[in-house]
Amino acid sequence: MQYQSLYRRWRPQGFEHGFVGQHHIVKTLQNSLKSGRLTHAYLFSGPRGTGKTTTAKIFAKAVNCLSDDKPVAEPCNKCELCLEVNQGSAMDVIEMDAATNRGIEEVRDLRDRVKYTPALGRYKVYIIDEVHMLTTEAFNALLKTLEDPPAHVIFIMATTEPQKIPATILSRCQRFDFRPLTEDMIAEHLQSVAKESGAELSADAARLLAFRAQGGMRDALGLLEQVISFSSGEIGQEQVWQALGTADQARLVELANALNSRDIGLVLTQLDEFGNMGVDYRQVLADLLELLRAKLLQVSGARKTDPGLSLEKPGDIMNLMNAVATGLQESKQWNHPRLAVELMAIKFCSSCPDSLHKVQRQASEAEGPVQPVAAQVKEAVLSAQHWGSVLSLVKKESISTYAWLKEASPLVVGEELLLEYPGNYQLHCDNIKKPEHRQVIVPVIKQVLGFSQYHVKMKKQGE
């Protein structure tokens, strides 16, 4: 027998059994089926994996089910028509993917076919997936059919972006908004599916998968299938971390604690270890956010389980969450996510008063958050810690730039960064000014030090 993925095997065949969430929609549709008050066009909108297409197929079976002489609130899944829909061969239920059939010709062909009566059921049901992908001309052609449809036709349109659908189309549809499923709903269903599949999924592992799914049951089942294939025996959080190719919780706890203590050396070392493990840096930030969220819920009293972080004040946790979330967003704009993550870490750790120059410590103790180096230090030799961070990041991005830069002595003069070279380093002075090196250095010093440019000076002989 051909293997079926979990999300296909566990797709609900009716409203009463196996259907998770969306009770507001199910109740409304079942009431309309019982009363016979059916409209000719429905719009199902909501995030991916929340049951739009599944609901459309169940509804198509319910209006056509042959177990009664009228639409039923629950399809029997035994009659000829229900079985054909389940197998994807029903002539009276036509699925159309608007992402690949988005032109006016496809819609005109649909308009020509709607006039034909159903072959077996009471209605011809057209399910148009990702309907927002239709062209303007195609929408105009579809509008003609929606304005005056044949009595035997029902349109069910599904979309993840309802805002892209013309108002003229929306006004002719009965709209249902599918909500993201709660983590508890997903976690409970995952444990049930795992048990039926011969696997034992712990509650903590189920919640972790539910969080990763972000409200989509299809995504959750896909993740569960991946974890089951990886693991043997009981599936806990550790197996989930490993199966999904991310850092385990113990390492994330160490990273969060190092960030909280502003130990930039330890943080960069840990991030380097993640790189050696081949871990996706963006996923590290996403997982770190979940860990911090769990801690925030624990210190707020919403959860009892302590993830083991040293942070105890909600304000400290939220500050770190904000920094991590910002880093995650900015990492999407970088070709090298690792650099974005390291910059985030250095920027966050540099906000600690003890890691800055004496002038910065005084300013921090006075009041308010620590300002960038450029805004506070008027004239000083840049600290070895800050300069070491700059060199470390530049080296990872470009070895040649690092080679020219490491011989400089960094100075803060007013609100400018000055790179000073010995008197016999003219070649270094000339090269470090070149555009290919500036485009590497400037983003780093902007994030670490707060400077948007740098200047170069060579010492006079004898200085």
Residues sharing a CB contact under 8 Å with residue 177, sequence separation 6 or more, in sequence order: 45, 46, 162
Q: How confident is the model at residue 177 (pLDDT cuts 50, 70, 90)?
A: very high
By C-alpha distance, which of 245, 328, 230 is closest to 280? 245
pLDDT of residue 134: 92
**Tokens standing for residue 243:** 């199966």
pLDDT of residue 463: 55
Number of separate domains in the chain: 4
- Cα separation, 365 vs 363, whole angstroms: 6
1 occurs within a structural domain? no
- Cα separation, 27 vs 37, whole angstroms: 14
pLDDT of residue 381: 66
pLDDT of residue 461: 58
For 69-132, list the strands marked E by DSSP: 93-97, 124-129
By C-alpha distance, which of 430, 378, 393 is closest to 408? 430
pLDDT digits (tens, 9 = 90+) for 128-138: 999 999 999 99
pLDDT of residue 361: 41
Crossing angle of the two packed helices 337-349 and 249-260, in degrees rounded to 10: 40
For 319-415, list the strands marked E by DSSP: 379-381, 409-413
- Cα separation, 77 vs 257, whole angstroms: 55
Q: Which of 34-48, 251-265, 279-293, 371-385 has the highest mean pLDDT?
A: 34-48
pLDDT of residue 201: 92
User: Are 301 and 448 contained in the same domain?
Assistant: no
pLDDT of residue 30: 94
User: Are 124 and 195 contained in the same domain?
Assistant: no
**Tokens standing for residue 189:** 């269903």
DSSP state of 370: P
Q: How confident is the model at residue 374 (pLDDT cuts 50, 70, 90)?
A: very low
pLDDT of residue 74: 94
Mean pLDDT to the nearest integer, 436-442: 87
pLDDT digits (tens, 9 = 90+) for 198-216: 889 999 889 888 888 878 8
Contacts by 329-336, CB closer than 8 A, 24 or more apart: 331/281, 331/282, 331/285, 332/282, 336/396, 336/397
- Cα separation, 213 vs 354, whole angstroms: 40
Neighbouring-strand partners of residue 93: 125
Contact between 45 and 159 (Cβ < 8 Å):
yes
Q: How confident is the model at residue 155 (pLDDT cuts 50, 70, 90)?
A: very high
| End-to-end CA separation in angstroms for the chain | 83
DSSP state of 369: P
Mean pLDDT to the nearest integer, 374-384: 55
Contact between 10 and 71 (Cβ < 8 Å):
no
Instruction: Please count the other Cβ atoms lying within 10 Å of the Cβ belonging to residue 255.
Output: 22
- Cα separation, 146 vs 154, whole angstroms: 10
pLDDT digits (tens, 9 = 90+) for 446-455: 888 888 888 8
Q: How confident is the model at residue 366 (pLDDT cuts 50, 70, 90)?
A: very low
- Cα separation, 279 vs 448, whole angstroms: 24
Q: Which of 65-79, 225-239, 346-360 has the lowest mean pLDDT?
A: 346-360
DSSP state of 163: G
- The angle at the Cα of 327, spanning 323 to 333, to the nearest 5 degrees, equals 155
Q: Which of 22-31, 157-166, 376-385 has the lowest mean pLDDT?
A: 376-385
Domain boundary at 143, 161, 177, which? 177
438: CATH: 3.30.300.180
pLDDT of residue 79: 94
pLDDT digits (tens, 9 = 90+) for 344-359: 898 888 874 444 443 3
The overall longest dimension of the chain from CA atoms, in Å, is 104
Mean pLDDT to the nearest integer, 390-406: 87
User: Are 52 and 134 contained in the same domain?
Assistant: yes
- The angle at the Cα of 238, spanning 232 to 242, to the nearest 5 degrees, equals 75
Instruction: Please count the other Cβ atoms lying within 10 Å of the Cβ belonging to residue 58.
Output: 24
362 occurs within a structural domain? no
pLDDT digits (tens, 9 = 90+) for 215-224: 889 999 999 9
- Structural domain range at position 214: 183-243
pLDDT of residue 353: 42
Determine the 3-state secondary structure of 158 from DSSP.
strand
Domain boundary at 191, 223, 243, which? 243
pLDDT digits (tens, 9 = 90+) for 6-34: 888 888 899 988 788 889 999 999 999 99
364 occurs within a structural domain? no
pLDDT of residue 367: 40
Determine the 3-state secondary structure of 335 from DSSP.
coil
Contact between 393 and 448 (Cβ < 8 Å):
yes
Mean pLDDT to the nearest integer, 300-304: 79
462 pLDDT more than 80: no
Domain boundary at 292, 316, 349, which? 349
76 occurs within a structural domain? yes
Q: What is the mean pLDDT of the chain?
A: 85
Residues sharing a CB contact under 8 Å with residue 196, sequence separation 6 or more, in sequence order: none
User: Are 112 and 49 contained in the same domain?
Assistant: yes
**Tokens standing for residue 453:** 């440019």
User: Are 239 and 258 contained in the same domain?
Assistant: no
Choice between 100 and 363, residue whose per-residue pLDDT is larger = 100
User: Are 27 and 152 contained in the same domain?
Assistant: yes
pLDDT digits (tens, 9 = 90+) for 33-67: 999 999 999 999 999 889 999 999 999 999 999 99
User: Are 22 and 137 contained in the same domain?
Assistant: yes
- Cα separation, 257 vs 366, whole angstroms: 26
Q: Estimate to the nearest angstrom the gap between the alpha carbon of 385 and the chain centroid.
A: 34
User: Are 90 and 142 contained in the same domain?
Assistant: yes
User: Are 53 and 94 contained in the same domain?
Assistant: yes
- Cα separation, 431 vs 446, whole angstroms: 20
User: Are 284 and 306 contained in the same domain?
Assistant: yes
187: CATH: 1.10.8.60
pLDDT of residue 364: 41
Q: Estimate to the nearest angstrom the gap between the alpha carbon of 164 and the chain centroid.
A: 21
- Cα separation, 177 vs 90, whole angstroms: 27
DSSP state of 132: G
